[in-house]
Amino acid sequence: MNAESAPAPASSKAPRPLDVIVVGAGFGGLYAVYKFREMGLQVQGFEAGGDVGGVWYWNRYPGARVDLPSIDYSFGFSKEIEQEWTWSEYFAAQPELMAYFDFVAKRLDLRRHFRFNTRVERAAWDEERQLWVVTTAQGERFEAPYCVMATGPLSVPKDPDIPGLDRFKGELYRAARWPQTPVGYAGKRIGVLGTGSTGIQIVQEIGPQAGELFVFQRTPSFTMPMRNRRLDPDYVAEVKRHYPGLREAARNSPNGGLRPASTRAFFSVTPEERRRLLEDAWRNGGLAVLGTFSDLLLNPEANEHVAEFLRERIGEVVADPVTAEALKPRGYPVFARRPCLDSSYYETYNLPQVHLVDCISDPIVEITEKGIRTNSGEVELDMLILATGYDGLTGALLAFDVVGRDGRSVNDKWSEGARSYMGLMMEGFPNLFMTTGPNGPAALANIVRISENDVDWIATLMTHMAKNGLGAVEPALEAENAWMDIVAALAGRTLVSQAKTWYVGANVAGKPQGLSLFTGGFTKYREYCSAAIQNGFRDLVFEHEKLAVAA
Ligand code: NAP
């Protein structure tokens, strides 16, 4: 394989052997396929969904909308895409995100490299031939020296562990597998199970349309005003003029985005000033509150002050004091669960047809044929919507059989928790790469910037290998252990691990618990990635190309 080789001559009949297999057609997969193709490599992509878009292809639930600014949540590698695409809203809704993916795929001619509706079931390393052998659900086999898992941190939906789910006779929908055909809500008794980012968006969207809406809440989330708006043409023109600088700023920020990150500690300013800063941030909307102070995820006391500020806001909107009280999150630090953004979530509870079922004081016992039974009785439903989250970070890779050196599977390797080198590679799995993988900054920084960073890093390594006649690479065990020590040391400093969330694996029974995220910020993460390149990849163990040696 030569990363700089030209495409095979048109006269050659045999298909060119593959250089890279890419799994997934979300942000990471699309950029990977583009990048490797532009390097002259032969790429084959696989995607279980019917089209490009990754998590957004599946998440067509009512009210689905990105909670990072669209300008920020978009590719930065292509000037053409940046200039020719125009976002209509500050926070784009799912249909516009799908239109964006479609635009990118067409403009860069990416679809021809993918097999859609094709689930990869197995990937196994062939030691002798230094190849990954990938098998699809249809039983087809593909081989390539490199395999890139762009499978995303949130691609395996998680059903609730409640007895009786299969008994329910009404309409049952999973937010993360929403049908493509229209769903009607008028006049129906609807239950929404789950109050994370997804549940909140669904509730505010269908609350006004439903006959009756019952929101089953176990843990309340902190949610802040999104303050979405249409983008004015002058603003868009200004952004387009300054994209290079905006991208550079995002790449050099701890959250990988344009959201300001403060260097001011909470208790370094007076109580009046703190209040003013929080109120300003609240009025600005989005995740501005998170950016007000530098130590909100480090100092529990500062965190609690901000949590109380947010709880007060709930009380100002929700008319019924019992409902307001039940909606106030307690018992975990704010921002330790992924903060949510809403447009009218709390107002929705003031509608007469919307009811909060507090599953802490009135726990769910079972799902029945007719609805949900809690301790206090049965709530009959025509429709049940599951917004119960994902087997995050590791679920996608563990869902199929990935077998590395000496027949060892990722399931074995991760039996006590995900281990990786910078979220990009694993010891024992040569030439296998992940984008936004566990122990990288996924979920804590802009996923598009991380995807681009990861693909560029992998591409640099592939080029290095091609230039040096190298056939296989994996991290040294010591290097992987050293990375895991860094991840653990940083995790010990933050409050992020102090809530029961998908970040720490708490939402999946039997899953090893622990924070599989790099909490040092995107800037630091990129520094580590750059250092690995600068030092000639000395943390990695290389093998020469076996066929080249034999020749
Ligand atoms: P989530 O944050 O994990 O929330 C799942 C919800 O389901 C929680 O409220 C959970 O309650 C509840 N639940 C699960 N099992 C339950 C049970 N047996 N009984 C009662 N309640 C149960 O999942 P999500 O809302 O899908 O969000 C996941 C991530 O996707 C977010 O953190 C975010 O990163 C991303 N996301 C982003 C956007 C966006 O960009 N706008 C939108 C949606 C999602 P407990 O907490 O008590 O377990």
Nearest CA to ligand 1 atom 40: 66
Q: By mean pLDDT, which of 29-38, 233-242, 260-269, 312-321 is the weakest?
A: 260-269
Q: Looking at residue 267, what DSSP letter applies?
A: G
- Cα 290 from Cα 268, distance rounded (Å): 16
The confidence score (pLDDT) of residue 537 equals 98
Q: Residue with structure tokens 């924070």? A: 515
DSSP bridge partners of 342: 225
Nearest CA to ligand 1 atom 8: 194
Contact criterion met (CB below 8 Å) for 299 and 336: no
The confidence score (pLDDT) of residue 515 equals 93
Q: Which two tokens stand for residue 289?
A: 């509150």
Q: Average pLDDT, whole number, for the chain?
A: 95
Distance 337 CA to ligand 1 centre (A): 9
76-109 tens-digit pLDDT: 999 999 999 999 999 999 999 999 999 999 999 9
Distance 159 CA to ligand 1 centre (A): 11
Distance 212 CA to ligand 1 centre (A): 22
The confidence score (pLDDT) of residue 261 equals 85
- pLDDT over 60 (residue 9): no
The confidence score (pLDDT) of residue 548 equals 52
What single letter denotes the amino acid at residue 421?
Answer: Y
Nearest CA to ligand 1 atom 28: 389
Out of 507, 511, 517, mutate this one to test ligand 1's pocket (max ligand atoms within 8 Å of CB): namely 507
Task: Of 219, 253, 258, 215, give the one whose Cα is nearest residue 235.
Answer: 258
458-478 tens-digit pLDDT: 999 999 999 999 999 999 999
Distance 45 CA to ligand 1 centre (A): 29
DSSP bridge partners of 480: none
In ligand 1, the atom with minimum distance to the C-alpha of 175 is 26
What residue ranges line ligand 1, CB within 6 angstroms?
65-67, 154, 160-162, 193-199, 201, 216, 218-219, 338, 359, 364, 387-390, 443, 502, 507
Distance 398 CA to ligand 1 centre (A): 20
140-197 tens-digit pLDDT: 999 999 999 999 999 999 999 999 999 999 999 999 999 999 999 999 999 999 999 9
Q: What is the pTM of this model?
A: 0.95
The confidence score (pLDDT) of residue 7 equals 43
- pLDDT over 50 (residue 5): no
Task: Of 438, 453, 451, 429, give the one whose Cα is nearest residue 519.
Answer: 438
- pLDDT over 60 (residue 6): no
- pLDDT over 50 (residue 388): yes
20-47 tens-digit pLDDT: 999 999 999 999 999 999 999 999 999 9
pLDDT-derived band of residue 2, with 50, 70 and 90 as boundaries?
very low
58-80 tens-digit pLDDT: 999 999 999 999 999 999 999 99
Out of 96, 159, 219, 388, mutate this one to test ligand 1's pocket (max ligand atoms within 8 Å of CB): namely 388
- Cα 251 from Cα 516, distance rounded (Å): 22
Structural Rg of the chain based on CA atoms: 24
Nearest CA to ligand 1 atom 16: 160
Distance 393 CA to ligand 1 centre (A): 14
The confidence score (pLDDT) of residue 478 equals 98
By percentage, how much of the chain surpasses pLDDT 70? 97
Determine phi and psi for 267, rounding to 5 degrees.
-85, 10
Distance 231 CA to ligand 1 centre (A): 29
Nearest CA to ligand 1 atom 46: 219
Task: Of 28, 116, 21, give the one whose Cα is nearest residue 437.
Answer: 28
Task: Of 338, 330, 381, 382, give the one whose Cα is nearest residue 358.
Answer: 330
Rama region for 519: left / alpha / beta (φ>0; ψ in -120 to 50; rest): alpha
